[in-house]
Amino acid sequence: MDLGLSGKVFVVTGGAQGIGEAITRQIAAEGGVPVIADRAKEAGECLLEALRSQEQQAHLIEVELGTSASCQQVVEETLSTFGRLDGLINNAGVNDGVGLEDGSPEAFLASLEKNLHHAYYLAHFAVDVLKEAQGVIVNIASKTALTGQGHTSGYAAAKGALLALTREWAVELLPYGVRVNAVVPAEVATPMYERWLQTFDVPEEKRAEITRRIPLGQRMTTPDEIASMVVYLSSAQAAHMTGQLIHVDGGYVHLDRALAGI
């Protein structure tokens, strides 16, 4: 299926690793141009080299997205390099474990700055050109926004806000044909997730405990499965979808755990 992304330019935040890398690769494979906005310089350069070796176009902006100025820089550099911007994929974020009891007001604010503020900043600076292009915004949220997790107030609040902004922006941008949707992952097999598992005394036992609670197949979602939905939502194949919160999670959030034998 031709998704019609050829020549279209998409900013992918956190696009060098994990889910972001999978999104970047799939956009490039469809003939789109991913602009990787990421602070991970080495990973970004390796990915850029890999894409170019396959004669796929991409661009890397090494950036810390914590300020409005840095986000404005991403939009301006994208436009000066390519002369267009067709989509914004707000993927960057990290479950940083800032809780209620064991956190602090300062840590909570820092978590919001790390996980939420850049999504608004980028959308704000990109909105005019997205309106011209009748472009798209896809926000990557998290099941923690809907289920809770414990000891992650900052991340859960940021992802909950991102779901609210998905529908708010979808309404505000309706007159311009700009579509805004969110993808909501649960347990995704990324390198970051693997590093977290390795903090347990018996990582394989923890992995088994988690996967047996996932109704469909008792396995984690792959980054490519998240990316496939993101790329679909970014394409004309999803031309009449906006304001949607799409769960790609093997039924984790909505299906009864009894189905997984729990």
Positions marked active-site:
155
Tokens read off for 98: 């800032």
CA atoms within 13 A on the CB side of 13: 31
Task: Report the candidate in 72, 66, 24, 65 with the shortest Cα–Cα distance to residue 44.
Answer: 24
Q: Which residues contact 116 (CB under 8 A, 6 or more apart)?
A: 157, 158, 161, 162
Task: Report the candidate in 185, 210, 184 with the shortest Cα–Cα distance to residue 196.
Answer: 210
Supply the DSSP symbol for 135: -
Q: CA 256: distance to chain centroid?
A: 26
Residue 57 to residue 203: CA distance in whole angstroms = 38
Residue 75 to residue 81: CA distance in whole angstroms = 10
Residue 39 to residue 8: CA distance in whole angstroms = 23
Nearest 10 degrees: Cα torsion 8, 14, 19, 22:
40
Look-up of token digits 């903090």:
199
